[in-house]
Amino acid sequence: MHLKSLFCVVASAGVLVSSVALAGEFGTADEAKTMLTKAAVKADKTTALAQFAKGESGFKDRDLYPFCGGPDGLFTAHPTLTGKSLKDLKDKTGKPLGEEIYATAKEGEVKEVSYMWPRPGQTDPVQKVSYVTKVGDQTCAVGYYK
């Protein structure tokens, strides 16, 4: 899968998920995976990363959003952490989740990383699972809460 393809995949998925009438308060595993894996139309990496970070064009659905990190370990797209270290990120129990995301992400594959993280607007951590993949120089994920 080429870098261009990832942004096609994530762009399409966000549009598809946001266009469906969503009944639940929180995103599901299937919706998170769909946001990361459906193919479509976005080919411009710079535009795609900006849309991910801003939650534009369907890239924010309740508690679902894509996030990416570059080869330097810094977030290239995140609603609040762009420019900060993804690779050094630890969950609320001290688990080095950023390192695990980078180690787990493989080109052309979607894998899972589980960790403890509070839901948006809350402080108590709950189990979160992120689907992760690597395309070109970007490691990207979409997570959902269990």
* Domain map (residue ranges) of the chain: 3-145
CATH number of 3-145: 3.30.450.20
Q: Do the beta carbons of residue 36 and residue 142 sit within 8 Å?
A: yes
Q: Do the beta carbons of residue 63 and residue 120 sit within 8 Å?
A: yes
Q: Do the beta carbons of residue 125 and residue 114 sit within 8 Å?
A: no
pLDDT in tens, the chain (146 residues): 454 555 544 544 443 333 333 458 899 988 888 777 532 335 578 888 888 899 888 888 999 999 999 999 999 999 999 999 999 999 999 999 999 999 999 988 999 999 999 998 899 999 999 999 988 899 999 999 99
Q: Do the beta carbons of residue 106 and residue 133 sit within 8 Å?
A: yes
The answer to pTM > 0.75 is yes
Helices assigned H by DSSP within 2-82? 3-19, 29-37, 45-54
